[in-house]
Amino acid sequence: MGSHHIVLTLQPGETRQVAFLLGYHENPPEEKFDPPHSQRINKRTVLPIIERYLNPQQISDALQNLRAYWDGLLSTLQVRTGDEHTDRMVNIWNPYQVMVTFNLSRSASYFESCIGRGIGFRDSNQDLLGFVSLVPERARQRLLDLAATQQESGAAYHQYQPLTRRGNNDIGSGFNDDPLWLVLSTSAYVKETGDWSILDEPVPYDLRPETATSLYEHLQRSLRYTLERLGPHGLPLIGRADWNDCLNLNCFSDTPGESFQTTTNREGRVAESVVIAALFVLAAQELAALAERHGRPDDACAYREHAARMEATILQSGWDGQWFRRAYDALGRPVGSRECSEGQIFIEPQGLALMAGIGLTDGRGEQALAAVAARLATPHGILLQQPAYTRYYLHLGEISSYPPGYKENASVFCHTNPWIMIAEARLGHGERAHDYYLRINPSVREELSDLHRCEPYVYAQTIAGRDAPNHGEAKNSWLTGTAAWNYVAITQWILGIRPEHDGLRLDPCIPRSWAGFTAVRRFRGQTYRIVVRNPHGLCRGVRSLCVDGREVAGNLIPLPSGARGTIEVEALLEG
């Protein structure tokens, strides 16, 4: 912690300006010291910069340039909904946090480890889902960097070092969901930009140039990695862990202080993940769409068949009667089931299954979300699981080592709350989707600041659950996937302004009380001025869509044939 103390004496009516300059400058190695071989840092190259900003006009110009930079970024999407908390987060603070998480991933976070971390493979791919619309060219490079750390088997280092781009061997691989996230982030990038050339970009494995194949083949290997690792029920093997790093079904650690993420795991040919299964269905669907439009119809057909088979497996072995199970442990026993004394229902499979379209039409989705509302939802957000674990379970690992109501043991783990928002929107439940959105919205929670105890403009990783003595208190703000996922949930599924390969989908699912909303969205070089009207108090159902005064069938705004500048869009919700 550093501070400055400036003493000023002001006469009545007098004004003084004090400027603080904070920056970073790097000298070439041979010019680090002045004189050479001394221990005095060479400041000659930075002194002119300091001198420049002693000029008040230079400071004013720099601040104006900074404002213009952020105005440009934030103008990608601006909305007016009539709800101040939604507008405040969508227009300013949520994309701002998305930019921060893109830049830093979790590498600057000392919350968990008290030491530096690498860039997370899964983390960064999820961050890209919210970031691609802000600076697409940077998203493209990040995708290629991530793919270059992938291994030839399709596996992924769980983390890599951003300066060297080398995989972090201390953490290693074996988090069996990791490779699939690369498919989702690549698909999101192509939908946003229409840049199909990225699929043909040669990318090495583990940074070895001689191994390079197309990015498309990297995505193929991501799916193959899952298909080559299926367990007794036909569900994907969990490996070291899946999305929840703390569900360690192959660890069996009985040594205090031992790291669950680095300790030697058992072979692990039994423990399976329903979460990876649902994620696979979603990724296979996305890769099929990419393959079809990229001139690979046979691949597209094969991936749809794989998705259908995995969906059938989930319905056969992953359904517990009222909700989706979480996993099977190393002894083949269900996790996240009525059969369990603790940890009977988990949030992740309920959200991911519906995001993949599983249970949308057969009633299972409605049942699962009803169970979430009854058993997991609290005024402060949706809990990760219930009942909380009250003791350490050797066969479950780190998740049961936390006190009840904290972190992965039944807190409101905010990262997965948007999955339920998206699931509710997919079923047309606009009231509940937006209600869940507001429960963890930082702007709303400013009214609870004495309890929330976190910045009122930034999402936290976790909020203490109802089993904790301080239910509602937030922890670990800023560097969390919550930022990207909430941005996706509110902009693409509640407001329903969703990039697709063939245009911009307008499919809002909003509260009945909204009379509508307006939005300005930049997309593929065009500016779309959108007006949505809801005169009948509906949640969903675009029945009339006009683009530049012409009626368009359905709710897909087609891509213009040429440069048009501004495109006027009007939509009417009707029963």
Q: Which residues are catalytic?
A: 245
Radius of gyration of the chain (CA): 25
Instruction: List all residues 6 or more positions away from 47 whose beta carbon is below 8 Å from its beta carbon.
Output: none
Residue 97's CB is within 10 A of a number of other CB atoms, namely: 26
DSSP secondary structure, 130-143, as one string: HHTTT-HHHHHHHH
Strand partners, 413: 462
Instruction: List all residues 6 or more positions away from 306 whose beta carbon is below 8 Å from its beta carbon.
Output: 223, 227, 280, 284
Spatial separation of the C-alpha atoms in residues 510 and 491, rounded to whole Å: 11
Q: Length of the chain, please?
A: 575
Spatial separation of the C-alpha atoms in residues 528 and 512, rounded to whole Å: 24
Spatial separation of the C-alpha atoms in residues 413 and 408, rounded to whole Å: 7
CB 66 within 8 A of CB 53: no
Spatial separation of the C-alpha atoms in residues 186 and 192, rounded to whole Å: 10
Spatial separation of the C-alpha atoms in residues 414 and 412, rounded to whole Å: 6
Find, among 319, 347, 507, the residue nearest to 421 by Cα: 347
Instruction: List all residues 6 or more positions away from 435 whose beta carbon is below 8 Å from its beta carbon.
Output: 511
Spatial separation of the C-alpha atoms in residues 511 and 495, rounded to whole Å: 10
Instruction: List all residues 6 or more positions away from 539 whose beta carbon is below 8 Å from its beta carbon.
Output: 428, 429, 430, 431, 509, 510, 511, 512
